[in-house]
């Protein structure tokens, strides 16, 4: 099994400890000698790492001779901080943190093949090739959004895996609403919208035998503190900050999301798919009575949503009166 701190590119455990030490003593000057002692590295390493943190956008003030302090506690998702908040929980035991990686889904997939345990969490401050659905790219500006992937090893058949995506959608929906106090829309199967614009999305990937899932990874992206977006998505994307007019702690949001997901996941394993389907139908404005346009790749048609099947697939009553089940494809609201 991989070592949580030895995977190439993960944040060095001692670098994270430096950040935690500075964060817990924010605005207090700590001497380089004390830092070196507490985290077990030389003073010159402390100096090099402080430079590194500065390059990564952390506002560390002071100098080698006088000591260092943080002007402001940075909103960085260090494993130590997360572990502390998720004590005794499944998601919080094995945390992989990257300042920069290509995609947390790519990393989690690799960990899955290497035998990593259920409950591992992969986090990045920035993704250079964040993956979206349908081969799209997921815009992943440094420090502005939540980019997280969870590794699960449920005893399920592959056909039940989409229910996990829906479960993650429900958890993200609840976390966003609790964090902002505003309402968000949950679109089948997993888009999160605010004011009709996309604020979050989920990309599930898995490795399975015909009748048994080996592992599933659930990648969740939530636009949190972005002020603006690149031109190609600026008309369709939004962030919690843009909607609520204030910035949000990504750590708080993440803790809400993981706590919510853990309790939902356990209920799903106990109670089965009906729990997810019932909750989704209750939370999603989209699941019933919405006029939609469905694009399957083979055809495009219009109809009205008519609830979910027991596997969580969307029923659509077509204009010709026939009711179909949407397995894959893009479903959008038709006006």
Site of interaction with ligand BTN (CB under 6 A): 103-105, 127, 130-133, 136, 138, 147-149, 191, 201-203, 219-221
Comparing CB distances to ligand BTN, the nearer of 53 and 222 is 222
**To the nearest whole angstrom, how small is the minimum distance from the Cβ of residue 157 to ligand BTN?**
23
40 Rama class: left (phi>0) / alpha (psi -120 to 50) / beta: left
**To the nearest whole angstrom, how small is the minimum distance from the Cβ of residue 26 to ligand BTN?**
28
Comparing CB distances to ligand BTN, the nearer of 78 and 101 is 101
Short-list 202, 210, 212, CA closest to 153: 212
Q: What are phi and psi of 123, to 5 degrees?
A: -125, 145
Comparing CB distances to ligand BTN, the nearer of 27 and 195 is 195
**To the nearest whole angstrom, how small is the minimum distance from the Cβ of residue 218 to ligand BTN?**
9
Comparing CB distances to ligand BTN, the nearer of 10 and 103 is 103
Q: At what angle do helices 250-271 and 161-180 cross, to 10 degrees?
A: 140
Q: Are 198 and 259 in contact (CB under 8 A)?
A: no
**To the nearest whole angstrom, how small is the minimum distance from the Cβ of residue 105 to ligand BTN?**
4
Q: What are phi and psi of 29, to 5 degrees?
A: -75, 125
**To the nearest whole angstrom, how small is the minimum distance from the Cβ of residue 201 to ligand BTN?**
2
Comparing CB distances to ligand BTN, the nearer of 141 and 243 is 141
Q: What are phi and psi of 49, to 5 degrees?
A: -70, -35
**To the nearest whole angstrom, how small is the minimum distance from the Cβ of residue 149 to ligand BTN?**
5
CB within 8 Å of 306: residues ≥ 6 apart: 288, 289, 315, 316, 317, 323
**Count of CA atoms in the C-beta half-sphere (13 A) of 157:** 6
CA distance 191 to 176: 13
CA distance 55 to 15: 13
Q: Are 98 and 127 in contact (CB under 8 A)?
A: no
**To the nearest whole angstrom, how small is the minimum distance from the Cβ of residue 96 to ligand BTN?**
12
CB within 8 Å of 243: residues ≥ 6 apart: 180, 182, 194, 195, 199
Nearest position to ligand BTN, beta carbon: 201
**To the nearest whole angstrom, how small is the minimum distance from the Cβ of residue 161 to ligand BTN?**
15
Comparing CB distances to ligand BTN, the nearer of 78 and 127 is 127
- The two most distant CA atoms of the chain are separated, in Å, by 78
Name the helix (H) or strand (E) containing 201.
Answer: strand 197-208
CA distance 307 to 220: 24
Comparing CB distances to ligand BTN, the nearer of 130 and 312 is 130
Residue 117 CA, chain-centre distance (Å), reads 18
């Amino acid at each position: 099994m991989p070592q949580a701190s030895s995977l190439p590119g993960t944040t060095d455990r001692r670098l994270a400890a430096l950040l935690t030490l500075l964060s817990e003593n924010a605005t207090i000057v700590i001497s380089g000698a004390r830092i070196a002692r507490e985290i077990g590295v030389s003073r010159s390493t402390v100096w090099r790492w402080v430079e590194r943190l500065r390059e990564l956008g952390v506002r560390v003030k002071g100098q080698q001779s006088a000591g260092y302090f943080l002007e402001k506690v940075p909103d960085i998702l260090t494993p130590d901080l997360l572990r502390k908040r998720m004590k005794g929980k499944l998601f919080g035991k094995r945390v992989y943190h990257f300042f920069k990686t290509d995609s947390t889904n790519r990393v989690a997939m690799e960990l899955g093949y290497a035998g990593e345990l259920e409950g591992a969490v992969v986090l990045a401050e920035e993704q250079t090739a964040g993956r979206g659905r349908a081969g799209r790219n997921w815009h992943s500006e440094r420090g502005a959004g939540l980019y997280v992937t969870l590794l699960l090893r449920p005893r399920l058949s592959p056909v039940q895996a989409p229910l996990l995506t829906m479960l993650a959608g429900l958890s993200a929906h609840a976390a966003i609403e609790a964090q902002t106090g505003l309402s968000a829309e949950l679109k089948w199967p997993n888009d999160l919208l605010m004011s009709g614009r996309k604020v979050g999305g989920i990309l599930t990937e898995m490795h399975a035998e015909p009748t048994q899932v080996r592992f599933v990874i659930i990648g969740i992206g939530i636009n949190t503190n972005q002020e603006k977006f690149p031109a190609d998505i600026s008309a369709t994307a939004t962030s919690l900050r843009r909607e609520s007019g204030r910035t949000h702690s990504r750590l708080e949001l993440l803790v809400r999301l993981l706590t919510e997901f853990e309790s939902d996941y356990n209920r799903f394993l106990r109670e089965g798919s009906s729990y997810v389907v019932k909750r989704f139908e209750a939370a999603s404005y989209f699941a019933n009575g919405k006029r939609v346009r469905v694009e399957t790749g083979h055809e495009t048609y219009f109809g009205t949503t008519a609830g979910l099947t027991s596997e969580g697939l969307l029923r659509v009553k077509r204009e010709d009166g026939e009711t179909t089940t949407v397995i894959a494809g893009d479903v959008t609201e038709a006006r």
